[in-house]
Structure 1
Amino acid sequence: MRSKIFLALALIFAAAAAVSTYFYLQALEKTYRETGRFVTAVVAGADIPSRTRITPAMLKYQDIPARYLHPDAATSAREVVGKISLTDIKAGEPILKSKLVAAKDARYGLAFSLGAGERAVTVAVTEISSVGGMVRPGDRVDVVATLDVAPADPNQPKTTYTTTILSDIRVLATGQMLTPEEKKDKKDTGFQHVTLAVTPAEAQVLILAAERGSIRLVLRSPVDKEKVKLPPAKTEDLVAQVPKPVKSATVQQTSQPR
């Protein structure tokens, strides 16, 4: 009997403590609100995996006492929407700006340099085919390929074609350099490969040209966005431009009377 009394008292005290705590927290919240010490923070509405582009549907808003809010916490959607998470973010967790990266920010690796629908393809280059090694990350280039094509008639010689296969392509990296600023901190030892940002369809064309022929990069002006549309040049076109030899006129001598 006595144990039941003690149990009942314990339950009563526990309930009283819970009620007191509730009212205390309510009063504390009211005090913070009245004194303007609450800040609306952006929190994850659900678990957000690493390397995920943040959308408005992923977000919720929560009022948090200013004294407990992390100084790097986002307080508006525009600070986070469109950016990519660097780590996993748990549901209800305030989103820290340091855990996000802007799209196409090469500082966090090559993958973060790519936009939606882009692929990174690396091709081998020489000093000549890379414009004297002066191509830099961020430059725009055309890719010109030269290939030998066999004729339908096996008795005829192959024809060499040179054509612009890709136009206005962004350079992601030269060698291991992802940004032009890296050159300032590294000794320029040249590079043997260049990484380009292309679409999946362009990737197929580029890889085929690199495997079956030779390619050169043609550097573009940063303000020139016009796509190049030219017919392929072939060996016959080059030969046709070579001037034909002119036959020397024959001078007929006549004998003079003595």
Structure 2
Amino acid sequence: MKLSTKGVLAIALVLSLATTGLIYKYLQEATQKTPQEGVVVVVAKVDIPPKTKITAEMVATAKVPAEYVQPGAVRELKTAVGAIAREHIVAGEQIAERRLVIQGKSAGFTGIIPPDKRAVTIAVTEVTGVAGFVKPGDYVDVVATFDQNTVGDNVSQIILQNVLVLAANRDAEAGAADGAKDKKEAIKTATVTLAVTPDEVAQLALAEDKGKVRLALRPYMPSTGITIVNAVTPKDIVGAHTSPVQNGQSDDKAPPAPPASRQPDDGQGKGIQLIRGTKVETIPVQ
């Protein structure tokens, strides 16, 4: 069946109207939908190093979809401002409460122990505790020294490296954010609490019980690097020395030379004494 020109135009007109109606309906429904509102969270504007007191210039608020909100994310600026960062926070990252030390709000001492660590306290002195310069948040190496009655020789060895200090005495604040306290009063450090793995707990306890433990303070910026070190004995420091008395080479044990017997002077002049074994013979010189 052959359509006339008017028929073709009529069909095209109907299709155009139908398409226009469908587009209009789609746009109307799209504009009527209420946009989903995001959740307000606090994010870092700049990189925040660990043990840094957060200021208003370091943080800002942002809206993110609810499904992207991090667990424990801080929702208000006043909560973050004035707190201390426990660890490094990257710019643009949502700030979670577990990564902050918030004044007036604490989960107790257990809240600052890393999930895979245990808190162990050791006794230190002014010397073994680095003169009291070890503060919470610092990293230390642990040196153990044993005498020959325990391990057969006097030996010293770094047994633990890159260990986090949780507390000095009972001060568990995160880092030395305010140095004024140290300047006003020097508090003697008697104990240091370290965060160690379960295996290291036994090593540290045995080292303190059977030997002497000393701390070595690491640089301010934390490092995950481990240095390979060997045990050290006195021979490694001064070398091996053997006493002549011990190896039988003393001159005191050499057989004494037989005393030379003096022959009476016969008045014929001087002579030459010749020693043969235990006999002394004088050969006169004319």
TM-score (norm 1): 0.52
The change in CA–CA distance for 1:185 and 1:131 in structure 2 (over 3 A counts) is closer
Q: Secondary structure at the match of 2:130?
A: coil
Corresponding residue for residue 176 of structure 1: 170
AA in 1 matched with 2:165? V
In the TM superposition, 1:29-40 aligns within 5 A as none
Partner of 2:237, secondary structure, is helix
SS at 2:236's partner residue? helix
Distance in 2 between residues matched to 1:79 and 1:127, nearest whole Å: 47
Percent identity between the two aligned chains: 28
Contact 2:150 2:210 in 1 (8 A): no
Q: 1:150 to 1:189 in 2, by over 3 A?
A: closer
Letter in 1 for 2:135: R
Q: Is the 8 A contact 1:144 1:166 kept in 2?
A: yes
Taking only aligned residues, the RMSD between alpha carbons, in angstroms, comes to 3.9
The Cα shift of 1:135 comes to 1.2
Report the secondary structure of 1:231's partner residue. Answer: coil
Does the alignment pair 1:164 with 2:158? yes
1:23-34 equivalences under 5 Å are none
Distance 1:77 1:170 in 2: 34
Letter in 1 for 2:209: E
> Take 2:177 and 2:122, find their aligned partners in 1: how far apart are those partners?
22
Q: 3-state DSSP class of the match of 2:166?
A: strand
Equivalent position of 2:28 in the other structure: none
Q: Give the counterpart letter for 1:145 in structure 2.
A: A
Unaligned ranges ≥5, structure 1? 1-33, 43-73, 85-94, 153-157, 245-258
Letter of the 1:211 partner, please give it.
D
Amino acid at match of 1:110: F
Native 8 Å contact 2:39 2:69 kept in 1: no
Spell out the pairing of 1:54-65 with structure 2 (5 A cutoff). Answer: none
Query: Computing the radius of gyration over CA atoms, which structure comes out larger, 1 or 2?
Result: 2
Aligned to 1:63: none
Q: Who is 2:117 aligned against? A: 118
Q: CA deviation at 1:172?
A: 1.2
Contact 1:145 1:162 in 2 (8 A): yes
Aligned match of 1:211:
209
* 8 Å CA contact retained: 1:106, 1:113: no
Alpha carbons of 1:76 and 1:227: their partners in 2 closer, same or farther (altered >3 Å)?
A: same
Query: CA separation in 2, counterparts of 1:149 and 1:191?
Result: 29
Q: 1:101 aligns with which of 85, 93, 97?
A: 97
1:138 Cα deviation from its structure 2 partner: 1.4
Distance 1:122 1:135 in 2: 13
Q: Which residue number in structure 1 is paired with residue 130 of structure 2?
A: 131
Aligned length: 167
